[in-house]
């Protein structure tokens, strides 16, 4: 499964479907594999930071550095497992777990006000001042019953996010 010249066997497809809890169809997996191979220009079996940054949509994403930490060096099996949160078949909890990982900047299993402020800073750039970001954060936390001193677990994070919609349609040829 490492380079673009290899093909996925039926066994590979079934294994990958099982690995992603059947959140992708076999056609979607093939399409994702073709895209993965196209991005893996060196044929090493993983996508480097430089290769990811070569994708214009990725490079302009304000969270690209955070996402790179999660994506860089993943093989295809790990890559689609991570992407499975974007499947239309993924549960709300799958999606929240992914977003939680983006916000948990120090990977300690908790999201703090500092973590959220850093993500807000990345997302808003100079559009919002630090004071405005803190106000937004405090209001969101307060509405969910938390304070800026709270350290949110994934369950707490679910309450703050509410009804999240996060889906990407995988084009299949």
* pLDDT over threshold 50, residue 59: yes
Give the whole-angstrom CA distance, residue 113 versus residue 157: 12
Task: Please state the rounded mean pLDDT for residues 6-28.
Answer: 92
What are the CA-CA distances from residue 96 to residues 135, 145, 151, 156 (Å)? 23, 18, 16, 10
Where along the chain do the CATH 1.10.238.10 domains lie? 10-86, 92-161
pLDDT at 11: 94
For the domain covering 10-86, report its CATH number: 1.10.238.10
Residue 20 has a pLDDT of 94
This prediction has a pTM of 0.74
Nearest one of 48, 35, 39, 100 to 74, comparing CA atoms: 48
* pLDDT over threshold 90, residue 122: no
State mean pLDDT over 88-97.
87
Name, in order, each residue with C-beta under 8 angstroms of 47's C-beta and a sequence gap of 6 or more: 36, 39, 40, 71, 72, 74, 79
pLDDT band at 140 (very low <50, low <70, confident <90, very high): confident
User: What are the residues facing 111 on neighbouring strands?
Assistant: 152
Q: Tell me the CB-side half-sphere exposure of residue 15, using CA atoms within 13 A.
A: 9
Identify whether the C-beta of residue 48 lies closer than 8 Å to the C-beta of residue 11. no
Structure tokens at 85: 């949160």
* Paired tokens of 136: 């937004």
CATH code reported for the domain at 92-161: 1.10.238.10
What is the pLDDT, as a whole number, of residue 142?
A: 85
The predicted pLDDT at position 19 comes to 94
At residue 4, the pLDDT reads: 40
DSSP state of 148: T
Confidence bin at 58 (pLDDT 50/70/90): confident
């Amino acid at each position: 499964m490492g380079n673009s010249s290899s093909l996925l066997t039926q066994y590979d497809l079934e294994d990958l479907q099982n690995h992603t809890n059947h959140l992708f169809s076999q056609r979607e997996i093939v399409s994702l594999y073709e895209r993965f191979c196209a991005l893996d220009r060196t044929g090493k079996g993983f996508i480097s930071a430089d290769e990811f940054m070569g994708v214009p949509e990725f490079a302009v994403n304000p969270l690209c550095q955070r996402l790179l930490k999660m994506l860089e060096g993943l093989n295809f099996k790990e890559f689609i497992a991570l992407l499975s949160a974007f499947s239309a078949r993924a549960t709300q909890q799958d999606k929240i777990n992914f977003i939680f990982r983006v916000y948990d900047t120090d990977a300690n299993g908790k999201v703090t006000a500092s973590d959220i402020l850093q993500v807000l800073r990345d997302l808003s750039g100079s559009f919002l001042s630090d004071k405005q970001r803190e106000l937004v954060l405090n209001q969101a936390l307060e509405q969910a019953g938390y304070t800026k001193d709270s350290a949110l677990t994934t369950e707490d994070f679910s309450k703050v996010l509410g009804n999240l919609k996060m889906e990407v349609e995988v084009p299949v040829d």
